[in-house]
Chain A
Amino acid sequence: MLSDSGSSAPPDAIPVTLTINGQERRLRVAPWTTLLDLLREELDLTGTKKGCDHGQCGACTVIVDGKRINSCLALAVQKDGASVTTIEGLSSGALHPVQAAFLEHDAFQCGYCTPGQIMSAVALIEEGRARSREEIREHMSGNICRCGAYANIVDAVEDVLKTKSSSFREAAE
């Protein structure tokens, strides 16, 4: 177990325990610290991005207790006891299939929305709700890509879904 004092944590900081990328961490966080700022500013996990800080872009998407959320709108203290997976925890060594598919399909350009897109796609695949390109599009619409890589993002997600499941509709549209 790691114990981080949190150098800039004020004296009224609250102790929380979070399992981040499989590692249990005891932290002290101010109540107004969002999960996103905790990751980026305190823990140097800058793979999770801040694009709008208001839940309007999805760049900050992480998986908390198995569900994708916007980490910018979650207060870290509220997540005491939770398990958090960020882009840094998705793979060790070889790329996760979704990461590999993004690379292969050129599903990004500037890369800034990419970790959020990938975390969202990983969760989408787990949710099991996307069975057509149309459904991928809708359920990936919480992640804005200003470079406009959407068509390639759908290709990448579809590719992974097809290898995982035969129920994906080939020509649903």
Chain B
Amino acid sequence: MATPSRYVGTAQSRQDGPAKVTGAAKYAAEFTAPDLAHGVVVSSAIAKGRITAIDTKAAEAVPGVIKVLTHENKPRTAWLDYNYRDQVAPPGSPFRALNGPEIVYGGQPVALVVAESFELARYGASLVRVTYEEEVPNTDLEKNRDAAYVPPKKRSGIKPPPDPRGDAAGAFDKAPIQLRQEYKQAIEHHNPMEPHASTVVYEGDGKLTIHDKIQGVNNTQGYVCGVFNLKPDDVRVITPYVGGGFGSGLRPQYQLYLAVAAALDLKRSVRVVLTRDQMFTFGYRPETLQTVALGADKDGRLQALTHDAVAGTSTFEDYQEAVVNWSGLLYHCPNVTLDYKLAKIDTYTPSDMRAPGAVTGIFALESAMDELAYATGVDPLELRLRNYAERDEGEGKDFTSKALRAAYEQGAARFGWSKRKAEPRTMRDGRELVGWGMATGVWEAMMMPSSASATLTPDGTLELACSTADLGTGTYTILAQIGADALGLDLDKVTTRLGDTALPEAPLAGGSWTAASSGAAVQAACRTVAEKLFGYARGMADSPLANADFAHVTFADGAIRLQSDPSRKVGIAEAMRAGGVETVEATEKVKPSMLTNMRFSAYTHSAVFAEVKVDEELGVVRVTRVVSAIAAGKILNLKTARSQILGGVVMGIGAALEEESMLDHNLGRIMNHNLGEYHVPVNADIHDIEVIFVDEHDDKVSPLGVKGLGEIGIVGAAAAVANAVFHATGKRVRELPITIDKILG
């Protein structure tokens, strides 16, 4: 079967767009039930210690308050940690809300007030009085650096740093150019616009229908079944729209636990929505202290590279991400030592946040590379080309594809990099200093096992179904494009259903693997539909396709046609009639190729170029131009793909200049826990961003040749901005974010 590509690779508007621009799209907190009660969480005022008394009488006395759940009356749930471990839980003991009087982090939930209305619940929550025995919290990562340890248990799916190669220390000592610097990543919070929420509908027969803010409904289902000892058949999770995730919705969060506990306890429906402040009381990008040492010859060729990182984690789980591994594979270097350690602090466990680990590690590596460029007098882009890695030297494998060179070339050309003056402080626009900086980005291209179904009806409409989530990533649309092309249908004849545990199971939407994984599953399901349909068509009496082979037909314009003579065709409805079926349906499951994974390394790459204008006297930095050139295999939808990269760059600008959750170490509390004081970029911060997708054919990485785009846009963006700030001002800022005080200081 040949599949002419009418839609895949083109720019298409979002299938879910009309629902979103009219307000019809319903998010987790927007489903309701006739018996719905509302829960509001009371958060701990201390970061460490224990509750000595919790007085709920005043709250319970409010007419309309139904119940106050605390550690003293919380319903019994599973005993073993195992039951609380979700699909991406790191090693350790997952946090259990209201499990006991112990307080292990600031803002920990200590009560849930359930009432007839949201306002009554909020009022009730304000009346709960908690008395604590307070201990001194330990939240300062710098002070715990010496206690850092190599995590004894590895987190599933996260590769530990590869073994050292060569002799990095010895080679560094001999290198003509030596550079060793420390870099620091601040704590960042995801802050999706939709606050975390769970609406648990208590069905009459004791079953639950749950609308949860989650990046994969199966993870919620598994967690709820494990914790509350329920059967999968009794827990259906439906979340068609997710108002942004960026990783915050990978793990089930405590509002889900509390809503389910209350619903089962009260035998009625319960909704719990977190406040924006409470969005700062669970996962985050961890603070990470890094040291990078580069030894090079006078031409900038790397001879030694060491990259050490110490990241914060909670006292109860060993969260891990790949921070330093990138330094072992991005450049050619014979002597490399990488080290990644954790230090425990009294906070919640960190969680994956857009390009987890890569944002952090690449900021350090690419800042250091920029410093090396100045130390050797080699142009920063030329320096990267001189050290270009043709193979993944960290793992000793070839890449499935790597068009990074093309990304460098095309990005540089579009940006006008050749007009850059090498010396810092030499470019100006009026009063402002102008800086041009660049950096490389890299992210793993992964595929996960995924299922999908396709159902074709005689009128040529196709319904695709898969449990994965569209977080704004464009999944609805790209799957429809794949399905339309596979069966030769108009795109408006294809609908996609997502976010429902009743649909074929897909992995969590994260890690940039959804397009490769669920896309391949949709394609496989459509192929099976095509084969079945072709079978009916060929079996018809006097079939125009009699004796034809499946390999020699094509699906186009609602019919199966012979490639060599398209006038010989059988319409979809005709074929179904011949087969005596009302619909043709198929469900398929796809898996990554283990063989390919063993033999090859698969990565997306980017070349990011940034222009900043700096008012040096006042420390104000404006990012006026960014060009992001992406090598990510096949691009399915040019419109939504571009948006993915734009969004990554914007979050990268936030990381570079604005974002930081500030801990008060005396109180162990994040203090700027709101959108007024935790600064994310606003419209005025964002100027021209150009996105280039370079051609990168890859027949190994995934069946569609897709590598994924969710993460790569942010990787390298902060380093490019920081490097541009140096070029503008001559001031190297090694601690993010680069705020006014750091430019002045």
Binding site for B on A (CB under 8 A): 8, 10, 30, 32-33, 37, 40-41, 44-54, 56-57, 59, 86-88, 90-91, 95, 99-100, 102-104, 106, 108-115, 118, 136-138, 140-154
Contacts and interface: CB of A to CB of B under 8 A. Distances in A.
Interface string B646-687: 111111000000000000000000000011100011111110
Interface stretch (B24-32, B327-335, B528-536): B24-32
B686 A112 contact: no
A112 B243 contact: yes
Contacts of B30: 40, 46
B471 interface: yes
Given A37-B119, A48-B23, A141-B683, A148 B244 contact: no
Contacts of A106: 13-14, 639-640, 642-643
Given A40-B30, A48-B23, A86-B23, A112 B16 contact: no
A152 B23 contact: no
Interface in B673-714: 674-676, 680-686, 688-689
A149 B681 CA distance: 11
Interface string B56-98: 0000000110000000000000000000000000000000000
12 contacts: A47-B24, A54-B676, A100-B21, A108-B21, A113-B193, A115-B23, A137-B683, A144-B193, A147-B472, A147-B647, A150-B681, A153-B683
B23 A103 contact: no
Contact of B18 (A10, A33, A95): A95
Contacts of A46: 23, 26-27, 30
Nearest to B19: A111
Interface string B187-200: 00011111100000
Contact of A33 (B119, B683, B685, B688): B119
Given A10-B64, A52-B276, A87-B22, A148 B13 contact: no
Given A108-B472, A110-B242, A146 B193 contact: yes
Nearest to A154: B683
Nearest to A41: B118
Contacts of A88: 22-23
Nearest to B13: A103
A99 B118 CA distance: 31
B21 A110 contact: no
Interface in B6-53: 13-14, 16-27, 29-30, 32
A51 B650 contact: no
Q: How would you classify the secondary structure of chain B's contact residues: helix, strand, loop or mixed?
A: loop
Could you say which of A56, A104, A142 has the most chain B C-beta atoms within 10 Å of its C-beta? A56
Interface string B513-524: 000000000000
Interface string B324-361: 00000000000000000000000000000000000000
Could you say which of A59, A108, A145, A151 has the most chain B C-beta atoms within 10 Å of its C-beta? A151
Nearest to A110: B472
A49 B650 contact: no
B246 interface: yes
The 10 closest A-B pairs by CB, nearest first: A47-B23, A148-B650, A109-B472, A112-B243, A110-B472, A111-B20, A148-B647, A87-B23, A56-B675, A46-B30
B379 interface: no
B275 interface: yes
A111 B276 contact: no
A74 B633 CA distance: 49
A110 B681 contact: no
B117 A8 contact: yes
B116 interface: yes
A148 B676 contact: no
B276 A147 contact: no
B218 interface: no
B363 interface: no
A52 B141 CA distance: 29
A110 B23 contact: no
Given A8-B117, A148-B648, A153-B683, A111 B243 contact: yes
A154 B685 CA distance: 12
Nearest to A109: B472
B241 interface: yes
B197 to A, nearest CB: 9
Contacts of B474: 109
B367 interface: no
A33 B123 CA distance: 12
B244 A147 contact: yes
B682 A144 contact: yes
B473 interface: yes
B565 to A, nearest CB: 39
Contacts of A90: 22
A122 B650 CA distance: 24
Contacts of B29: 50
A90 to B, nearest CB: 8
Given A111-B243, A112-B27, A148-B646, A47 B22 contact: yes
Nearest to A52: B276
Nearest to A112: B243
